[in-house]
Structure 1
Amino acid sequence: MAVHAHPDDESSKGAASLAKYSSDGVGVVVVSCTGGERGDVLNPKFADTAIDIPTLRVTEMARAAEILGVAHVWLGFEDSGYHEGAPDTWTLPEGSFGALDPAVEIEALVRVVRAFRPHVMTTYDENGGYPHPDHIRCHVVSMAAFEAAGDPDAYPGTGEPWQPLKLYYNVGFSRERMLAINEAVRERTGEGPFDEWIKRFAENPRPDPGARITTRIEAADFFPQRDAALKAHETQIDPDAHWFAVPHDIEASVWGTDDYELARSLVDTDVPETDLFAGVRERVVS
């Protein structure tokens, strides 16, 4: 179960490994905590077009889920929108995901966990991957639901207790990964697609999530599905963006994995890992 803040997050964070596990016969479900209603339109082709963002994002998500071969559930909360500055300066829209009592949202996710009964969950770290109020709240809700879902005294009336066995944080934009891919593409083409990103990172340094990687999933065969799923969220991504300027063969040779940090495990496992189900397969089979 991959728990994400908005539709499109599932396609930009760990999408190739979701498609890989689905192809291997593992049941995979993506949970979108919000509908992405306050997302900006980032595709230039929609610049002069009047569109119904909430409705279109539902359609986009359905298409992305089909491409990845995963099930999908809307948790049913409202996008808080992106906010600049420190979290204590944010004024969140009333009733939005980041502004509600977390207990309401935790109960909703516990209900989904008990219905789907996952052995493994993925979410964001305590910083939300990046400081968006919905990403930070997604972390809070996911961690609490992981602990509560197996407790028979927690949230009665939301289904039979079920305890997931492992929880991971997505690790996406590690500096080492971006540098390695950037230089490999420059060697072939003379241009680095991530030059601007790397410059911004150097000017505004922050902790590199790559230092926290414990688990690398070989998923290069599913990079085409990852890109197709991301492009399915067509209001949210420019198909000519630099993210799609990296030839898959270069990316596969330099960094062919989706990366995660093991945050919680109720089974024995040794890090580094190459499988989200390390320690789980033995437990389930036995």
Structure 2
Amino acid sequence: MTLRLLAVHAHPDDESSKGSATYAHYRSLGVEVLVVSCTGGEQGSILNEQLEARHHAERDIAGLRVHEMRAAQEAMGVDHVWLGYADSGLPAEGEPVAVNSFATIPIETSAEPLVAVIRRFRPQVLITYDENGGYPHPDHIRTHEISMEAFRAAADPARYPATGEPWSIEKVYYDRMFSTGRIEAMISHLRESDPESPLIERLGEMLERFSDRPDLATTKVPVSDFFPVRDAALRAHASQVPLDSAFFFWPNDLQVRAWPTEDFQLVESTVESTLPETDLFAGVVDPDTGLVGTERS
């Protein structure tokens, strides 16, 4: 099998909260998966008061996050590359981002190394963020911008000729992990199975916070068998994800019953597939076998 999936993320830890169960699922099927981290997360704060490696974090947060990313990579079983740009941080309103950070580099400059990655790895599927970055962090927005620029440029032999032979990606998806539908499903299942659960109130608060996120997913990949892998990858980023993180407050058995998928929105495609999908490779022909997609019986 020579099916390949490329996922482009802003910081180390984003890959674990946005699709890690999907990456592990496809690895189990023999798909090659490559995660790109555009920045090193150098501006990250210590978000875990119980962090065992606190002294390391205080001395060298960037170095610690390299170790954390390696552990997350091993948990998912994927390949990983750093694009090499500096974290822009999340400045206060009206404040500029740091000079020479990722968000300040011209798109045509920062897209070039990603074009090189695409032409070398030759994926059929690309996952990235929408135009708002999933949330309005300057590095997430820039990740969207360079992903789409590189997606188009990689197929054009006149663009960045020094980066290798042209390659056309067949399908592009936006991450759609969080939606009101997902939260509503959790609440509904809890009201039926455990109406006194304190999680109902907490999920209600989350529903209010995400009320502006409709379910735009076209593709819901059933990956509940890999939720434990997702959790292990998240916990690998210990400086950024404390044990009591909101990522962990809804138990996996509830998620398996209520929403056993990770969700994506198909935004570009050169192949035919029927929506809604359950396979990111729906319509994609495996060049080795001639078979279509990964859902084969």
TM-score > 0.5 by shorter chain: yes
1:271 equivalent in structure 2: 275
Q: 1:222 to 1:250 in 2, by over 3 A?
A: same
TM superposition shift of 1:90: 4.4
State the aligned residue count: 281
Aligned counterpart in structure 2 of residue 244 of structure 1, from 248, 257, 261? 248
RMSD: 2.1
1:76 equivalent in structure 2: 84
1:191 equivalent in structure 2: 197
Q: 1:111 to 1:90 in 2, by over 3 A?
A: farther
Contact 1:171 1:209 in 2 (8 A): no
1:224 equivalent in structure 2: 228
SS of match in other structure, 1:176: helix
Tell me the amino acid that sits aligned with residue 256 of structure 1.
P
Give the structure-2-normalised TM-score.
0.88
Gaps (5+ residues) in structure 1?
none
Contact 2:51 2:239 in 1 (8 A): yes
2:70 equivalent in structure 1: 62
Q: Provide the rounded CA distance (Å) in 1 between the counterparts of 2:196 and 2:139.
A: 38
* 1:52-81 deviation per Cα after TM superposition (whole angstroms, max 9, x unaligned): 100000000000011001000000000001
Q: Provide the rounded CA distance (Å) in 2 between the counterparts of 1:136 and 1:176.
A: 24
Contact 2:180 2:211 in 1 (8 A): no
Gaps (5+ residues) in structure 2?
1-5, 292-297
* 1:74-98 deviation per Cα after TM superposition (whole angstroms, max 9, x unaligned): 000000011344xxx3411000001
Q: What percentage of residue pairs aligned between the two structures are identical?
A: 48
Tell me the amino acid that sits aligned with residue 199 of structure 1.
E
Greater shift in the superposed pair: 229-238 or 155-164: 155-164
Contact 1:3 1:138 in 2 (8 A): yes
Q: Provide the rounded CA distance (Å) in 2 between the counterparts of 1:49 and 1:222.
A: 29
Tell me the amino acid that sits aligned with residue 79 of structure 2.
A
TM superposition shift of 1:159: 1.1
Tell me the amino acid that sits aligned with residue 106 of structure 1.
A
Contact 1:217 1:275 in 2 (8 A): yes
Q: 1:192 to 1:133 in 2, by over 3 A?
A: farther
Tell me the amino acid that sits aligned with residue 169 of structure 2.
P
Give the structure-1-normalised TM-score.
0.92
Q: Provide the rounded CA distance (Å) in 2 between the counterparts of 1:49 and 1:69.
A: 27
Q: 1:262 to 1:99 in 2, by over 3 A?
A: same
Q: 1:47 to 1:59 in 2, by over 3 A?
A: closer
Q: Provide the rounded CA distance (Å) in 2 between the counterparts of 1:58 and 1:209.
A: 34
Contact 2:175 2:263 in 1 (8 A): yes
2:3 equivalent in structure 1: none
SS of match in other structure, 2:113: helix
2:264 equivalent in structure 1: 260
Contact 1:193 1:242 in 2 (8 A): no
Contact 1:185 1:246 in 2 (8 A): no
SS of match in other structure, 1:46: coil
Q: 1:200 to 1:66 in 2, by over 3 A?
A: closer
Matched, 1:7 2:12: yes
TM superposition shift of 1:44: 1.0
Q: Provide the rounded CA distance (Å) in 1 between the counterparts of 2:282 and 2:245.
A: 35
